[in-house]
Structure 1
Amino acid sequence: MKFISDGVTRPSDDDARAALAEFGLTTAFMTIVFSAVRWGIGTVTPAATAVELRVRVVVVSALVGLVIVGFANSRAGRFSGAHMNPAITLGLFAFGAVPARRVVLYLPAQAVGSILAAVVTRLLWGPAVAEEPVRWAVVQPGHGWHGLSVAVAEAVTLGIIVTVMCRVKIRRPRWPLAWIVGVLFGLQGAVLGTLTGGSANPARQLGPALLSGEARLLAVYLLAPIIGGLLAGWIADHFEYGRWSRDGYRFGTHSTIRPKMRHSVVDAHIPSNGVDAWP
């Protein structure tokens, strides 16, 4: 496994600021997601048809995708990388695009952000958040889905997303990665929302699960996306894109990615001066 090496082994002030930005982004993002579940899914009546539920899930998923794009293109998002997802962080770590010193700050920032977002959502919308059918927006699999099938779906979903991210940043650096990632997460939610729950993000489940006490398949929702992301990043680094890293074409070195694109969201590029270079 290859890692970015710049002679720094301990988190710097810039790393801490990036982690703080990641915490803020994750908290805000998850608050929006949980609120969307509260009003988009939690208002479904018992008489609602399967078609109506599907439409609501698609609308909520589209909103989530657009929020990802917006946060990704924000100043804070461009500075931190706007992962808002431990599986993305670890996938890019395996790819060699994020140093370990930043990972150890990002993961707790994302976890705490998830928990805080659940609390904020409860404060915003009242007791209904903790009651059926919302139940803190905890993710639940659909009928007929069990641990193994959910795990495979979650792992494959993150594997595909991380693979696309790595390929775009290397092969198609001028493509709008923020939009691509937003669309991918929106699609997976729309397709898998009524099946696996459409989580694809450990931070999406952590806060709601802890506050609701719902432990069913918690390990699956937390670990499967991470395994998928790590495996995809490792494969991208060692097989398909190994020559790029061997030649030094890596984020933060003499990358072929033009300067502004290197600061694009979710590529986890770390500016050498620790300052967002976007105007």
Structure 2
Amino acid sequence: MTFLSEMRQAWRRHWPHYAAEAAGIGFFMVCGTLLTILFEHPASPVYQALAGPDLLRRAGIGLGMGLVIVVLVYNPWGKRSGAHINPAVTIAFWQLGKIRRADAVWYVLAQLAGALLIGQLLKWALGAYFAHPAVNYMVTEPKRHGQMVAFGAEFVISFILMLVMLLALHHEHLKKSTGWLIGVLLVLYITFESPLSSMSLNPARTLGSAVAAHSYAGMWLYWVAPILAMLLATVFFNKVYKGQTTACAILAGCDAAPNSPHATEPHATEPPVYPVVK
């Protein structure tokens, strides 16, 4: 059976999960844009009230986005797809065997499609607000410290994020709180790390904003650093836990349903790699 046949089979069985991933990253980008306009656009009364040092405004955006990720993880669609909304997260879980190859490819394609589409819709709907230099299409680009500092910062925050997710999902009492832990990390990252790299973590989100802005400075590092860091986090996790595994790649912390792309033996009604040649 060819890879294209696997892709067709996966689409027929799991397309709602892929739609959830596309919608999830779209919702994330919409909320991020509206929060940035609220806290950073000069015409916003919130910006005017908090004018001056931007730490407090970044904390406000961070708190808002932390709550957004919690909503994404624990809503029914997020529980269905796993709420990855990030190619680096999906690739890392694929390496761990928590999502099948064809499903992982569809997840990444859905995440990219959702980010690219929403970037264009935001550009059309918000116009000058989205394009204003204070918002700048939500572009993530290296700051004044340069690309290597941005690369290092993205690598560190991505490694920590993936490791926290794996450790929490592996822990009997913490796995249901994984989404909240991710939310706390986002608050900290946006508040304190964003001056170094603009705080991406997510290659698809960065690409969606870059295409809307026609600005691609440092694009390579926003793909290489998160993917490499999250893959290395899985290697570290496997080394520490010596082959022990997480229940599934669903960030709400629940076991995968039998018809989920994340289902594995003995819960799966399909083999881990399908379709099987008879």
Residue type at the aligned position of 1:153: A
**Structure 1 contact 94–234 (Cα < 8 Å) conserved:** no
Structure 2 CA distance, aligned partners of 1:40 and 1:91? Answer: 33
**Structure 1 contact 35–121 (Cα < 8 Å) conserved:** no
Unaligned runs of 5+ in 2: 1-5, 262-278
Q: 1:94 to 1:263 in 2, by over 3 A?
A: closer
| 1:8-43 Cα deviation digits (max 9, x unpaired) | 885253422211111111111111112222232233
Tell me how far 1:242 sits from its aligned partner. 2.7
1:171 aligns with 2:171: yes
Matches within 5 A, 1:97-176: 97-143=98-144, 145-175=145-175, 176=177
Tell me how far 1:120 sits from its aligned partner. 2.3
Report the counterpart of residue 258 of structure 1 in structure 2: none
Report the counterpart of residue 22 of structure 2 in structure 1: 23
Structure 2 CA distance, aligned partners of 1:92 and 1:273? Answer: 17
Tell me how far 1:81 sits from its aligned partner. 0.6
Report the counterpart of residue 3 of structure 1 in structure 2: none
Report the counterpart of residue 257 of structure 2 in structure 1: 271
State TM-score, norm by structure 2. 0.81
Tell me how far 1:216 sits from its aligned partner. 0.9
Report the counterpart of residue 199 of structure 1 in structure 2: 200
Tell me how far 1:220 sits from its aligned partner. 0.9
Report the counterpart of residue 76 of structure 1 in structure 2: 77
Structure 1 CA distance, aligned partners of 2:65 and 2:209? Answer: 17
Structure 1 CA distance, aligned partners of 2:109 and 2:11? Answer: 16
Q: For this pair of structures, how many residues does the alignment match?
A: 250
Bigger shift: residues 36-45 or 172-181: 36-45
| 1:250-276 Cα deviation digits (max 9, x unpaired) | 536xxxxxxxxx8652x595421349x
Q: 1:12 to 1:108 in 2, by over 3 A?
A: closer
**Structure 1 contact 92–162 (Cα < 8 Å) conserved:** no
Q: Percent identity?
A: 24
Report the counterpart of residue 35 of structure 2 in structure 1: 36
Unaligned runs of 5+ in 1: 1-7, 253-261
Structure 2 CA distance, aligned partners of 1:61 and 1:75? Answer: 24
1:210 aligns with 2:211: yes
| 1:209-266 Cα deviation digits (max 9, x unpaired) | 11211111111112211111111113213x1123314xxxx536xxxxxxxxx8652x
| 1:173-216 Cα deviation digits (max 9, x unpaired) | 44411101111122111111222211121122111111211111
Structure 1 CA distance, aligned partners of 2:152 and 2:254? Answer: 26
Structure 2 CA distance, aligned partners of 1:54 and 1:268? Answer: 36
Give the secondary-structure state (helix, strand or coil) at the position aligned to 1:214. Answer: coil
Structure 1 CA distance, aligned partners of 2:90 and 2:171? Answer: 20
Q: 1:174 to 1:14 in 2, by over 3 A?
A: farther
**Structure 1 contact 34–118 (Cα < 8 Å) conserved:** no
Residue type at the aligned position of 1:42: H
Residue type at the aligned position of 2:128: P
Tell me how far 1:148 sits from its aligned partner. 1.3
Residue type at the aligned position of 2:154: E
